[in-house]
Amino acid sequence: MYAKRLKSDLVELCRQRGLRIGRSTKEQLIAQLEERDRLDDPIPVPEGSRPADAAWALGPDRAGRGQTAAEDIPRPFLPMPGGGVGGSPVNTQGTLTLAASRGSSRRSSPSLERRRLEWEREMKMRELEDREKQRQHEEKQRQHEQEEKERERQEKEALVSGPVLANPDFDKPFVVFTDASDTGLGAVLMQEDEKGERHPIVYLSKKLLPREQHYAAIEKECLAMVWTLKELEPYLFGRHFTVYTDHSPLTWLHQMKGANAKLLRWSLLLQDYDMDVVHVKGSANLIADALSRRGGPELPQVTGQRDPAQFSIEGGRDVMM
């Protein structure tokens, strides 16, 4: 009956019936349950038998040593088969109920009921905890979705607000801003209108490869310039333009004489373009700086200017012609 059940189920049954569990094995639990079933099942007694004979049906070990089993068993006042009230453990159906005869049900029922209530209370507490965890998870998910929608709205608003992307005018000179960070490259192609205000035409951003992240600072800045000019070649090749960078050594890249083969190779590639390299402060190169850190933990803070595209580039002290 109990052999095919799991040990966890047997432990729960023993707990409900008030049996000792401890470190009992599965076989010991089964033995306790079968013993309780044997004791709780009513034992049929022939009608007309004496209480002592009925007690002997439980086993002679309870009736030895000069004491009858009927005397050893507490006798609740039960109606007799012939009427009246007596102390016999035999009920009106002619069967002997051991739990009632011993009085164990009166002692164990409150304990079992208390254990059952405690178990139900614990189950309810666990259910409430699970519901609270589920609610918190759903709340965090809704908050994340709202943040994503707000971020998407801000990005859409930024795309349609100033500075708005403009169409290129090939009769006017182009301006290029480049920058590099520890994780990526960034650049922006711009042109000035009749009022002298610069408008972006193309935004560029690229994540550095793991091997490129180990480049020196000048190598990353030069890589940003080479990669930007290759990407913008349809706009810039064959035309005079200006490149702004916040890394001063790039202004004398064409004059460099050293053992860095990488920089020498890139300087040869840059000789195909008609450009001026101008050094500016980092505060005047915020757009390219922000694009180079796209997706990174740190972004430049725009302060003191309403439009980052209109930062002044005055103060550039080095120029490569």
Using the 8-state DSSP alphabet, how is residue 90 labeled?
B
Judged against a pLDDT cut of 90, whether residue 129 lies above it is answered with yes
The whole-number pLDDT of residue 303 equals 39
Dist. CA 225–CA 273, nearest whole Å = 12
Residue 125 lies in a domain: no
Residue 165 lies in a domain: no
- Over range 261-287, report the average pLDDT: 89
Q: Tell me: do 313 and 178 sit in the same domain.
A: yes
Q: Tell me: do 101 and 207 sit in the same domain.
A: no
Poorest-pLDDT segment among 142-146, 207-211, 247-251, 295-299: 295-299
Residue 180 lies in a domain: yes
Q: Tell me: do 187 and 73 sit in the same domain.
A: no
Comparing 157 with 171, the larger pLDDT belongs to: 171
Poorest-pLDDT segment among 17-26, 199-208, 273-282, 290-299: 290-299
* Closest residue by Cα to residue 321 from 280, 279, 277, 272: 277
Q: Tell me: do 310 and 195 sit in the same domain.
A: yes
Q: Tell me: do 206 and 290 sit in the same domain.
A: yes
Would you say 305 and 163 are in contact if contact means Cβ atoms under 8 Å apart? no
Find the domain containing 243 and state its range: 174-320
Integer angstrom CA distances of residue 304 from 217, 301, 307: 28, 10, 9
Using the 8-state DSSP alphabet, how is residue 246 labeled?
S
Number of CB atoms found within 10 A of residue 275's CB: 20
Dist. CA 115–CA 110, nearest whole Å = 9
Strand, helix or coil for residue 212: helix
Residue 41 lies in a domain: yes
pLDDT-derived band at 108, boundaries 50, 70, 90: low
* Domains in the chain, number: 2
The whole-number pLDDT of residue 102 equals 46
Q: Which residues contact 225 (CB under 8 A, 6 or more apart)?
A: 178, 243, 245, 250, 266, 270, 277
- The CATH number of residue 243's host domain is 3.30.420.10
Dist. CA 222–CA 234, nearest whole Å = 20
Q: Tell me: do 293 and 199 sit in the same domain.
A: yes
Can you point out the beta strands (E) in 137-292? 174-180, 184-192, 198-207, 240-245, 274-279
The whole-number pLDDT of residue 135 equals 93
Q: Tell me: do 94 and 191 sit in the same domain.
A: no
Residue 235 lies in a domain: yes
Residue 133 lies in a domain: no
Residue in the structure block whose two tokens are 């109990």: 2
Q: Tell me: do 100 and 227 sit in the same domain.
A: no
* Closest residue by Cα to residue 187 from 174, 204, 201: 204
Dist. CA 109–CA 100, nearest whole Å = 11
Give the pLDDT confidence of 212-264 residue by residue, as tens digits. Answer: 999 999 999 999 999 999 999 999 999 999 999 999 888 887 777 776 888 88
Residue 160 lies in a domain: no
The whole-number pLDDT of residue 42 equals 57
Q: 175 is written with which tokens?
A: 């301006």
Comparing 254 with 296, the larger pLDDT belongs to: 254
Q: Tell me: do 314 and 218 sit in the same domain.
A: yes
Judged against a pLDDT cut of 70, whether residue 163 lies above it is answered with no
pLDDT-derived band at 304, boundaries 50, 70, 90: very low
Q: Tell me: do 178 and 266 sit in the same domain.
A: yes
Judged against a pLDDT cut of 70, whether residue 103 lies above it is answered with no
Q: Tell me: do 192 and 316 sit in the same domain.
A: yes
Judged against a pLDDT cut of 70, whether residue 127 lies above it is answered with yes
Residue 286 lies in a domain: yes
Give the pLDDT confidence of 5-54 residue by residue, as tens digits. Answer: 788 888 888 888 788 777 778 888 888 888 888 777 655 555 555 544 44
Q: Tell me: do 99 and 206 sit in the same domain.
A: no
